Structure 1
Amino acid sequence: MRLDLFKDLWLERRRRVALWCGIVVGWCGAAALFYPLLVDEAFVDRLADWFNPLLESQQAYWLLVLAVFGLPVIGGVFAFWEGGRLFKGRAVRHSIAFLLAYPLPRWQVYLSRLVYLLSACFLLTVVGLLSGSGAILLTGSQLPFGYWGFLPGLFLLIVLFGEVGILLGVLSQSFWLDRLVGVILLILLYLPYGLDSSDSTVRYSPLFYMLGELPLPGTIEVGNLLGLGLLCVAGGLLGGFAFERLELE
């Protein structure tokens, strides 16, 4: 991988990454602001029952606004959108064609963009958990046991969304297809829990492999992380395989 290609991507897209990090921080700040109003609401307990009925209301609240809805959705939307825009669009395709005219091996161009996406996803994940920690402490609560254990699974989940975006960006120029696949991914993320979180169908949700059997308190199973990791490896390889066969003008 050419380091200068990676640096150029960061210089070009750093404001976009900063904007999404700001959105994550804003979400955590809003969660802290509304904490006194929502923490004891019945709907929070009902939602938490889908994921872990043993949680207290404070733990359930933070589980929902951070690990279940906030960070997976915000991070997933960013990664999915950014992954597609790394390879989609006339200007982007012309830029890639210009790089390959040097000539540069295709794998270097692809890998530099993939590593940029991985680093951006990791930064967003860390910013989210750090700002979430600050929001929890600001409300006078203690960090739930196992809170930082969400880091590897959350990062892999966000990367998986990004790799799906890359694959779509390489294979299709249709922005409507992006929207359709994005909706399907969100349904896949939450519908199995809505059907019955104790049923085997919950294992069809990638969120399950990030949260584990009983999130907060509890431990994340290594096998679950391995499953997410293997999906990310497969997604990265599929994206590279498709990019190798991409016809550029």
Structure 2
Amino acid sequence: MSAQAPVIILAEPQLGENIGSAARAMLNFGLTELRIAAPRDGWPNPAAEPLAAGAFDEGVEVTAFESVEAACADIGYLVAATARPRGMEKPVTNASGAVEWLQGQARKTAVMFGNEAQGLSNNHVALCDAIMTYPVNKDFASLNLAQAVIVFAHAWGEMQGQAGRFEGANAGVGEPASREDLIGMFEHFEYELDRAGYFYPPDKTPLMSRNLRNAFVRGQWTTQEVRTFRGAIKALALGRGKARITRED
């Protein structure tokens, strides 16, 4: 990654299932350091394992602390995730903005999320340098803890330029067709259309031809696609069963 990944801090989480789900969300987007402050049911928690889907074995490291203060003691820049206005003089931004701020820090950074029942307390938010909020429905701001984590994690992964499992997928796309190939296809198609009597009345031929060419150009054809289409034109022009086509594709 181009920047040091932030720590994710869960302040006083209640359910092991949500801790596991948060870890799973994190690892999907390259975040691996999870801190849990004063978890209600203690740690380790067997209930976290199934929802983590192997995240604890594949890279997410979990450290438990007795308090929120202890969990963020070494953090140089701390962002609070909350949907509620706090009346505090702190900068407020969305997930993408938080990622930009975090990337600009030379210090160790973290994003802190509150528990399932009440979110972060004002005392927790007071420890933070900034506030991150999401554009949720003002009449229903009720994300699950892991859902809240994944919104930020996705923004982080996206800003780091992660391509995910489709990385390099465009390598399988064929070479773009040259203008010469396209023009040859146009002329071939138009020739056969003219033979079939498509261009009628004759004075409309230029307009009809331009409309067809414009539609084809929007398709961003590859060289292979041009060859395939010209083979199809040949087959239609000759008629089924009248001649054997030597395919170029």
Which TM-score band (shorter chain)?
under 0.3
TM-score (norm 1): 0.22
Q: Which has the higher helix share?
A: 1
Structure showing greater Rg: 2
Q: Return the structure number with greater strand share.
A: 2
